[in-house]
Amino acid sequence: MGRSLLDRSETTLTTTGKTRGRTALVALEQLPPKHRPQAHMDDIRKLLAAGCQPGTVTLHLAQAKCRLFPNIDPLTIYEEYGLGDGQG
């Protein structure tokens, strides 16, 4: 049988939460180093890593930054995150 409405909404909330977490982390990375809440950023990274396939957190962060800053060349962003071949 199909998934219940509650199951589908939980999946939507989880996916939306991950997207917001990635966007929030990318936004916090834009702050000057002395103003970054490093402990909170580390917590966000841990939560994202727990909900992602191993090794994909940096890819997701690069994609989030591309969406947040569409005027920046995506290859530059991928290289910044250590994804030099422009994965995504």
Q: Percent of the chain having pLDDT more than 70?
A: 76
Q: Model's pTM, two decimal places?
A: 0.66
User: What pLDDT band is residue 54 in, cutting at 50, 70 and 90?
Assistant: confident
Q: Which residues have a Cβ under 8 Å from the Cβ of 45 and sit 6 or more positions away?
A: 25, 57
The whole-angstrom separation of Cα 88 and Cα 82 is 12
Q: How many CA atoms lie within 13 A of 73 on its CB side?
A: 6
Q: Which residues have a Cβ under 8 Å from the Cβ of 19 and sit 6 or more positions away?
A: 64
Asked if the model's pLDDT at residue 9 lies above 80, the reply is no
The whole-angstrom separation of Cα 27 and Cα 53 is 22
The pLDDT value given to residue 17: 67
